[in-house]
Amino acid sequence: MNAAETIQAAVDKLERLRAAATSGPFGFEDGWQPPQWKDQGWTYVRVVAGEPNSISGVRSMVLSTDGTLPGSEGKRRTLADAELIVTLHRTIDAQLDFLRTVRGLAGAQIKGELAELVIGHGEQFARSILGEVS
């Protein structure tokens, strides 16, 4: 595939994932406890999405971590993981805008050092989305 085709494949993947995923807005909650854990100090970090339910005030859970103790290394990592997921979800539209812009540059076969740099970074970004590089 050339650069424009690779970038288009990444756009297609992001659009497909966005359409199939839980609709936002995404956020995360720290400190949720199932009733049976109230006395044990264990809590969950949950990634949630959508608006709060009008009756319960609860947002839809997208994923949840294993229980961790407050202040533990595991808790710090799971909070960072949750925030990263939420942050990346919030950037999907910007990622798509960037990829479409770079796809246009690549498709127009614009020459020059700056265009080649932008297209190169865009293609690398697209390959990361496609799982071809990490």
Q: Which is nearest to 49 in space by CA: 22, 14, 13?
A: 22
Bridge partners of 111, per DSSP, are: none
Q: d(Cα 78, Cα 86) in Å, to the nearest integer? A: 12
Q: What is the pLDDT of residue 129?
A: 95
Q: What is the pLDDT of residues 61-71, one digit of tens each?
A: 787 766 565 56
Q: What is the pLDDT of residue 126?
A: 96
> Does pTM surpass 0.85?
no
Bridge partners of 113, per DSSP, are: none
Bridge partners of 48, per DSSP, are: 27, 61
Q: d(Cα 13, Cα 3) in Å, to the nearest integer? A: 15
Q: What is the pLDDT of residues 39-52, one digit of tens each?
A: 776 777 888 888 88
